[in-house]
């Protein structure tokens, strides 16, 4: 069974440009999460989807970030326009269900470098 | 605010030596606690978790962790480290609210280097 896959693995863009990160969760996982790790800092929660609905987006830094999950399958995270402080590693995770058995499975992350 | 502290940013141990990675949390109630590992080129993998019950939990790859409420700690241990254990280790708690929501609060991570 395929794990959580993220694309691209690394993206280098200039300030002001747009980048779209994609996450394919494990098939059948209703819960999908985005996290971010800025250089030298801890991994921080961005948002949580249950199927196609945003359950919690309290960690989204500002309105330059837009996350979608069309049809409750894959998700995209768009940053527009990108700023220098957006550089970091963006992790996606999925879980079958919430609750005590809802283990999160993480992807390898998408590294974003904004110049 | 709830927080997780991993005091050691970088640790080096010799292969075969024992290992203890420290984790302290600040949380009002009994938290759900996790240890994840990220090996180079891979995603975060769950090593073990504590929700309730026995305070000594066993995980994969020979790791264990002990929950100590009085010290607000959840330290990760391994009796004999292997070269393949070189990785970055993250302690995390589930955020307050309904419990095990998947909205984790992470520590800054500890990078483990293993000397031959």
| Domain CATH for B25 | 2.60.40.10
Using a CB–CB cutoff of 8 Å, tell me whether A31 touches chain B.
yes
Q: What is the pLDDT of residue B51?
A: 85
Residue B16 belongs to domain spanning: 3-115
Q: What is the pLDDT of residue B98?
A: 58
Mean pLDDT calculated for residue range B79-102: 85
Domains and CATH numbers, chain A: 5-114 (2.60.40.10)
Residue B20 CA: distances (Å) to CA of A56, A93, B38, B83, B95 = 34, 27, 17, 15, 24
B39-61 burial, b if ≥16 CB within 10 A, otherwise e? eeeebbbbbbbbbeeeeebebee
How confident is residue B96, by pLDDT bands cut at 50, 70 and 90? low
Chain A residues close to B103, C-beta within 8 Å = 33, 45, 48, 56, 59
Contact A76, A22 (CB under 8 A): yes
How confident is residue B97, by pLDDT bands cut at 50, 70 and 90? low
Residues of chain A with pLDDT under 70: 1, 98-102
Q: What is the pLDDT of residue A2?
A: 80
**Number of separate domains in chain B:** 1
- Nearest by CB to residue A45, choosing from B45, B46, B103, is B103
Q: What is the pLDDT of residue B27?
A: 79
**Do B42 and A108 make contact, defined as CB atoms within 8 angstroms?**
yes
Contact A36, A46 (CB under 8 A): yes
Helix, strand, coil shares of chain B, percent, nearest 5, are 10, 50, 40
| Chain segment A21-36, per-residue pLDDT in tens | 999 999 999 999 999 9
- Which tokens is A1 given? 């069974």
């Amino acid at each position: 069974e395929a794990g959580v896959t993220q694309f691209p693995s690394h993206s280098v863009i200039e300030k002001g440009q747009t980048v779209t990160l994609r996450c394919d969760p494990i098939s059948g996982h209703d819960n999908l999460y985005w996290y971010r790790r800025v250089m030298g800092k801890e991994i921080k929660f961005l948002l949580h989807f249950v199927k196609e609905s945003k359950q919690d987006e309290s960690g989204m830094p500002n309105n330059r970030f837009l996350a979608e999950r069309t049809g409750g399958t894959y998700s995209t995270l768009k940053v527009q326009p990108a700023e220098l402080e957006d550089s970091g590693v963006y992790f996606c995770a999925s879980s079958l269900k919430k609750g005590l058995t809802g283990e999160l499975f993480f992807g390898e992350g998408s590294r974003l470098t904004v110049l | 605010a709830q927080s997780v502290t991993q005091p050691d940013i970088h640790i080096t141990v010799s292969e075969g030596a024992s290992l203890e990675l420290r984790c302290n949390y600040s949380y009002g109630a009994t938290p759900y606690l996790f240890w994840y590992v990220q090996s180079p080129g891979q995603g975060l993998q769950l090593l073990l978790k504590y929700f309730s019950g026995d305070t000594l939990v066993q995980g994969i790859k020979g790791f264990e962790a002990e929950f100590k409420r009085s010290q607000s700690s959840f330290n990760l241990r391994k009796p004999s480290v292997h070269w393949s254990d070189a990785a970055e280790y993250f302690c995390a708690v589930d955020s307050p609210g309904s419990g095990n929501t998947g909205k984790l609060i992470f520590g800054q991570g500890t990078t483990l280097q293993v000397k031959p």
